Amino acid sequence: MAKVEEKKGTLRKEELKETLREMLLIRRFEERVEERFRAGELPGFLHVAIGQEACAVGVCRALDDGDIIASTHRAHGHTLAKGTHPNELMAELYGKTEGCSHGYGGSMHLYDIEHGNMGANAVIGGGLPHVTGAALAFQLRGEPRVALAFFGDGATNIGTFHEALNLAQLWKVPAVFVLEDNKWAESTPERQHSPIRDLSERAKAFGMKAMKADGQDVEAVYKSTRQALDHARSGKGPVFLHLDTVRFSGHYIGDPQVYRPKDEAKKLRATRDPIETLRERMGMSDDEFAELDSEIVEVVDASVEFAKNGTDPAPEDALKNIYA
């Protein structure tokens, strides 16, 4: 049924609405996270991916059951898109035992093995070799599964990126490497951190198949990801998928963004909002959108409620889970 249409890489109308819903959930969830952090309720160091929702949703929708992802420090969207319940994610951000990492991880270490999320990573590029290794395990066991890594443009400068991609291509493992190219490595613009403008050249240097898509167009992301997954799953080797995307927010919550032209994010919001783009394409009325939005806000409200009512770990639980 759906599989036939998915093969062509297109989403049916109902699926489009679901896709919009998922992106909007991530948006509203992250806006709430910003708000609760500023209110002093959330501990730690948080990074939102507002503006990049189409990457998370388009990629994760294309995955099959059994495929796994590794994420980054900007992980809330990936985690929700891969199927973690908003309650469990919010509970983790509040440091509760009901959280997806049971309070041991936090925003930068979100794990949900049941849903194929092999973990967010606070070390740039840290998860890339794990994806090569997981894909190697699938290859050795003859399983038709794909391991997929998310990372940003900043990660293309670190050794693990080059080492992991080289090895993945050398061994032709079923992996997909998804570059969410938002043009910023924290506060450093791409022209200051990379001598080349087309970062997919780096994958091509390993002989890896490289694809590109508009990261603000969820349908394009979905379609490209399906193609990349088919390629990887069929044993032809890994794929590098370059998504051109936009970070509306700062590097972290509270980032004054002194390094960025004042109106840049505003202009990008007006022209390259992935949610607005899809909504317009679907021709969704204001009323219908408002209805969807209010449903989602209720889900987010409930997640905050769930998290606040969650259980604090006992301090001495810090000594558990160190060894198996």
| Chain residues that interact with another protein, rule: CB under 8 A | 68, 99-105, 109, 111-113, 118-119, 121, 123, 126, 128-138, 140-141, 147, 159-160, 163-164, 166-167, 170-171, 320-324
Q: Which is nearer to another protein, 170 or 205 (CB)?
A: 170
Q: Which is nearer to another protein, 29 or 138 (CB)?
A: 138
Write down the least CB distance from residue 24 to another protein, Å: 28
Q: Which is nearer to another protein, 170 or 270 (CB)?
A: 170
Asked if 177 and 128 count as a contact pair (C-beta separation under 8 A), the reply is yes
Q: Which is nearer to another protein, 20 or 100 (CB)?
A: 100
Among the listed residues 34, 37, 46, the one whose alpha carbon sits nearest the alpha carbon of residue 252: 46
Structure tokens at 290: 């408002």
Using CA atoms of 7, 9, 14, 20 in order, give the dihedral in degrees to the nearest 10. Answer: 140
Write down the least CB distance from residue 16 to another protein, Å: 33
Write down the least CB distance from residue 138 to another protein, Å: 7
Asked if 237 and 204 count as a contact pair (C-beta separation under 8 A), the reply is no
Q: Which is nearer to another protein, 105 or 152 (CB)?
A: 105
Among the listed residues 45, 42, 48, the one whose alpha carbon sits nearest the alpha carbon of residue 95: 42
Write down the least CB distance from residue 9 to another protein, Å: 27
Q: Which is nearer to another protein, 137 or 302 (CB)?
A: 137
Q: What is the largest CA-CA distance in the chain?
A: 54
Write down the least CB distance from residue 133 to another protein, Å: 2
Q: Which is nearer to another protein, 169 or 194 (CB)?
A: 169
Write down the least CB distance from residue 248 to another protein, Å: 28
Among the listed residues 116, 149, 144, 143, the one whose alpha carbon sits nearest the alpha carbon of residue 131: 149
Spatial separation of the C-alpha atoms in residues 258 and 263, rounded to whole Å: 12
Write down the least CB distance from residue 66 to another protein, Å: 11
DSSP string across 270-323: HH--HHHHHHHHHT--HHHHHHHHHHHHHHHHHHHHHHHTSPPPPGGGGGSSS-
Kindly state the DSSP code that residue 79 receives in the 8-state scheme: H
Q: Which residues contact 259 (CB under 8 A, 6 or more apart)?
A: 187, 188, 189
Query: What pairs with residue 210 in β-bridges?
Result: 240
Write down the least CB distance from residue 95 to another protein, Å: 11
Q: Which is nearer to another protein, 9 or 313 (CB)?
A: 313
Q: Alpha helices of the chain — where are they, by DSSP H? A: 2-7, 13-38, 53-62, 76-81, 86-93, 128-141, 159-171, 190-193, 200-204, 218-233, 264-271, 274-282, 286-308
